[in-house]
Amino acid sequence: MLSLRIIHQVGAARRGVLTTPHGAVDTPAFMPVGTAGAIKGVTPVQVRATGTQILLANTYHLSLRPTADVVAKLGGLHRFMGWDGPILTDSGGYQVFSLASINRVTDDGVDFQSHIDGARLRLDPRIATDIQEKLGADIIMAFDQCPALPCDAEAMRVAVDRTIRWAAECKRVHSRRDQALFGIVQGGLDLSERDRCARAIVDIGFDGYAIGGLSVGESHDEMAAILGPTAALLPADRPRYLMGVGMPRDILAAVRAGVDLFDCVLPTRNGRNSFAFTHSGPLRMRNERHAGDDRPVEEDCDCETCQRFSRGYIRHMFNAEEMLGPTLTSIHNLRFYQRFMARLREAIAAGRLDEIEREYPIAGAPVAGTGTE
């Protein structure tokens, strides 16, 4: 039900087409994050117009509300969200890291205290897989432990052991043949642990493979040093997914290492915080300098925001606390990411990937102050 066809390859970088039950995805591809079943502030029609082909939703959040049973009763995640394209669901493993203050991890699974009402939620390989099968996404993820960085050697070894054991259990209980199941490679910045985990996950055998445990506190250079050796351990005929990484220069480094799929909250989270991505760097749309500016956010952008609205208008929307400000900036940011990914695909096909940093200076330098939720 899922296949990857590689069309062009330059070094490790590859351009392909990922086929799923709900349509094809051109790779490398970026997945906007609809944590609770929605891309915040943007309708599915608007998301589709940005060039987006695949979305991500989250097991932990959807299991709390409205629950997987309710989503299944309402026709599954595609019908529930009003999105007829491919969907990937995260297993909740990232919340083991991001909600560490309200969970307890053991060898058998993770007990959460709901961030909504304090109720107990249990996730383990069987439960996480069952929830994702009820949600009905095209691609589901094995349950894993994502440790924070820095992490001492013993704690990392334990996390990798659990990730391998839990992956095998997810594979054993997975029953929906119309869903692809991806295994996840953990190991932090320890190349020996990455190697050990990757070889074990590949031996178990999955429809695709993810690199987890990055963008959790390490530098760009530290991430880049891990990506090449880890991606090289993963089967060339299966999709490779770098989880939760979204800064343009990090995406470029991962594409050069042979990664196919990406997700991150940055386009919409930053959009809600008046932060707009452009080729040359970020714009703060609340800034006074935009007050009388009739230009679009980005001159050559074809998104609805840039075609119809000025920087001055968007600034006014934020200052007037109108919802349209975050929506317009999020639409532009989503389109920026999809244009960036399309340009990466074109560059791979032409054998000119080295030109990207000249065309996108933002992909060659760190971006400070990216905003928070």
Tell me which amino acid residue 121 is. L
Token pair in block for residue 185:
């490679």
285 contacts 311 by C-beta, under 8 angstroms: yes
Q: What is the edge-to-edge ordering of all strands in the sheet holding 139-141? A: 29-32, 261-264, 240-242, 208-211, 180-185, 139-141, 87-90, 55-58
Separation of CA 186 from chain center: 16
Tell me the C-alpha distance between 304 and 249, whole Å: 25
CA neighbours within 13 Å on the CB side: how many for 166? 33
| Catalytic residue from among 190, 237, 263, 294 | 263
Cis, bond preceding 66 (omega within 30 deg of 0): yes
Tell me the C-alpha distance between 157 and 146, whole Å: 12
* DSSP string computed for 13-46: EEEEEEEETTEEEEESEEEEB-TTSS-TT--HHH
Token pair in block for residue 9:
């390859």
Expressed in angstroms, the distance from the first to the final Cα of the chain is 36
Catalytic, 90? Answer yes
HEC per residue, 67-106:
CHHHHHHCCCHHHHHCCCCCEEEECCHHHHHHCHHHEEEE
Tell me the C-alpha distance between 234 and 210, whole Å: 9
| Catalytic residue from among 26, 90, 138, 260 | 90
Exposed e or buried b per residue across 40-67, where buried means at least 16 C-beta atoms within 10 angstroms of its C-beta: bbbebebbebbbbbbbbbbbbbbbbeee
Token pair in block for residue 331:
């639409």
CA torsion, ordered 291, 297, 298, 301, to nearest 10 deg: -140
Question: What is the set of active-site residues?
Answer: 90, 263
